[in-house]
Amino acid sequence: MGADRQDAVIETHRLAKRYHRTLAVDALDLRVPRGSVFGFLGPNGSGKTTTIRMLMGLITPTAGTARVLGAPMPGAARTVLPKVGALIEGPALYGFLSGRDNLVRYDAADPTADPRTRRARVGAALDRVGLTPAAAKKAKAYSLGMKQRLGLAAALLQPRELLVLDEPTNGLDPQGMREIRSLVRALAADGTTVFLSSHLLDEIEQVCTHAAVMARGRLITQGPVAELSAGVRGRGRLAVGTPDPRAAAKVLTAHGVKDPVIAGDRVTGELPADPPDLADLNAALVAAGVRVRAFGLERASLEDAFVALTGEGFDVAG
């Protein structure tokens, strides 16, 4: 267990939080490997933010335990939190101050920050998030994406082992989303473990190495992103392009393909657990007079995997 804890920056055991009659988080066993970009995924209301608030010591669990950077939370908050950068529910900014002056305020509020090196620290943080050209601009004139980046700069004023981001692209336009994702990738490349909560499948698929899926307060599954999708759909879905979709669907069904879906000149279906040889399946289509223009397997997407796991829809766009 000791070695595991060294390799895990977040670890929970049977973690739970109850509000009156509502069990917001139920017996959560979560493990976030060091060096990962870990996506914490689930529909809104699935328990993600409640979990993050427990991990950060903002609320006390009803039951179970949580360890962050190897230490128990909330008990070790004073020693743990200086090593953690967090952006939860959006940055709190002074609109009448410039971006630079906002960071100066944040840095001055940190009792461990050396005032003699404050200017250099603030300058480095602005540079890190690409806001140096807008440093003198008032925060109220910043776009949403710039405000999120300024919030990240505040979280990065000191060296951090772990960065916790709760829905960091919420409300952003596509350009703002790209900016935040690019920054997350850069931070991960520098060795920071990033714990990223989101309800956007596209976001997780683009930037995360590992993920966990929450639904109705419970953990459904966790692991490397590639394994999560592969584990649900196995070999993926068969896709056939043909001007004879109805005839193709009939042949596919006869050969064990499940739930064929027709969309224009395209038929897709789920292969059975013991799939037929694809060459034989293609030959059967041709023998039945089906004109085949395209034939192959589609990789299972996170949308396939997570909807199958949770029975709920997600926002896919990013």
Average pLDDT over residues 137-153: 90
Q: Is the pTM of this model over 0.85?
A: no
CA distance 98 to 111: 22
- The whole-number pLDDT of residue 315 equals 46
The CB density around residue 49, as the number of other CB atoms within 10 Å, is 19
- The whole-number pLDDT of residue 32 equals 95
Q: Which of 212, 231, 250 is the last residue of a domain?
A: 231
140 in the same domain as 57: yes
258 in the same domain as 201: no
Under 8 Å between Cβ of 100 and 136: yes
195 in the same domain as 76: yes
- pLDDT for 268-284, tens place per residue? 888 777 777 888 889 99
- The whole-number pLDDT of residue 7 equals 86
* pLDDT surpassing 50 at residue 318: no
* pLDDT surpassing 80 at residue 77: yes
The parent domain of residue 127 ranges over: 2-231
Banded pLDDT at 4 (limits 50, 70, 90): very low
- pLDDT for 78-115, tens place per residue? 899 888 988 877 778 889 999 999 999 999 988 888 99
- Classify residue 312: in a domain, yes or no: no
- Classify residue 267: in a domain, yes or no: yes
81 in the same domain as 215: yes
- Classify residue 204: in a domain, yes or no: yes
Of 197, 180, 173, give the one whose Cα is nearest residue 89.
197
Strand blocks (E) in the chain: 8-19, 22-28, 31-33, 37-41, 63-68, 71-73, 84-87, 162-166, 193-198, 210-215, 218-224, 237-241, 258-262, 266-270, 294-298
Q: Which of 179, 198, 231 is the last residue of a domain?
A: 231
CATH code of the domain in which 239 resides: 3.30.70.100
- pLDDT for 17-72, tens place per residue? 999 888 999 999 999 999 999 999 887 778 888 999 999 998 999 999 999 999 99
239 in the same domain as 186: no
Q: Is 113 helix (H, G, I), strand (E, B) or coil?
A: coil
Banded pLDDT at 2 (limits 50, 70, 90): very low
- pLDDT for 229-266, tens place per residue? 655 444 567 889 999 999 999 999 999 888 888 888 99
CA distance 195 to 283: 48
Work out the percent of the chain whose per-residue pLDDT is above 90: 40
Residue type, 108: A
Q: What is the mean pLDDT of the chain?
A: 84
- Classify residue 318: in a domain, yes or no: no
Banded pLDDT at 186 (limits 50, 70, 90): confident
Q: Which of 15-19, 296-300, 311-315 has the lowest mean pLDDT?
A: 311-315
Work out the percent of the chain whose per-residue pLDDT is above 70: 89
Q: Which of 206, 231, 256 is the last residue of a domain?
A: 231
* pLDDT surpassing 70 at residue 3: no
- Classify residue 273: in a domain, yes or no: yes
- The whole-number pLDDT of residue 1 equals 40
Q: Is 253 helix (H, G, I), strand (E, B) or coil?
A: helix
112 in the same domain as 161: yes
- The whole-number pLDDT of residue 317 equals 42
200 in the same domain as 257: no
* pLDDT surpassing 50 at residue 316: no
Number of structural domains, the chain?
2
